[in-house]
């Protein structure tokens, strides 16, 4: 059981990126991919429905939000470097 200030290790730092090393890390990555695919398809569907091509450019917003969110989660649950 972890204490109030100790977090579980779900990711390991590899070069400048984070790799999942626990099933919870893999679950977070898969959920982010599923959410991004869903949220990217909605502006594309709206663009084709309303025949407005500029709406499809809104698809970058959930992608950037997911990248920031996944980066923050992986930094929080990463094995501390140096030991």
| Residue 42 covered by a domain | yes
| Residue 33 covered by a domain | yes
Provide the pLDDT for residue 16: 83
Provide the pLDDT for residue 3: 53
Cβ-based neighbour number of residue 44 at 10 Å: 13
Cβ-based neighbour number of residue 39 at 10 Å: 16
| Residue 8 covered by a domain | no
| Residue 81 covered by a domain | no
Q: How many domains is the chain built from?
A: 1
Provide the pLDDT for residue 58: 87
| Residue 69 covered by a domain | yes
Provide the pLDDT for residue 34: 94
| Residue 10 covered by a domain | no
Ranges of the chain whose pLDDT falls below 50: none
| Residue 63 covered by a domain | yes
| Residue 61 covered by a domain | yes
CA dist 65 and 31 (Å) reads 13
């Amino acid at each position: 059981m972890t204490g109030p200030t100790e977090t579980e290790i779900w990711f390991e730092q590899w070069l400048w990126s984070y790799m999942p090393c626990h099933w919870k890390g893999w679950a977070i990555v898969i959920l982010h991919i599923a959410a991004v695919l869903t949220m990217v398809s909605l502006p594309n569907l709206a663009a084709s429905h309303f025949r407005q091509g500029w709406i499809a450019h809104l698809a970058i917003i959930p992608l950037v939000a997911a990248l920031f969110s996944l980066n923050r989660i992986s930094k929080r649950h990463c094995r501390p470097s140096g030991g």
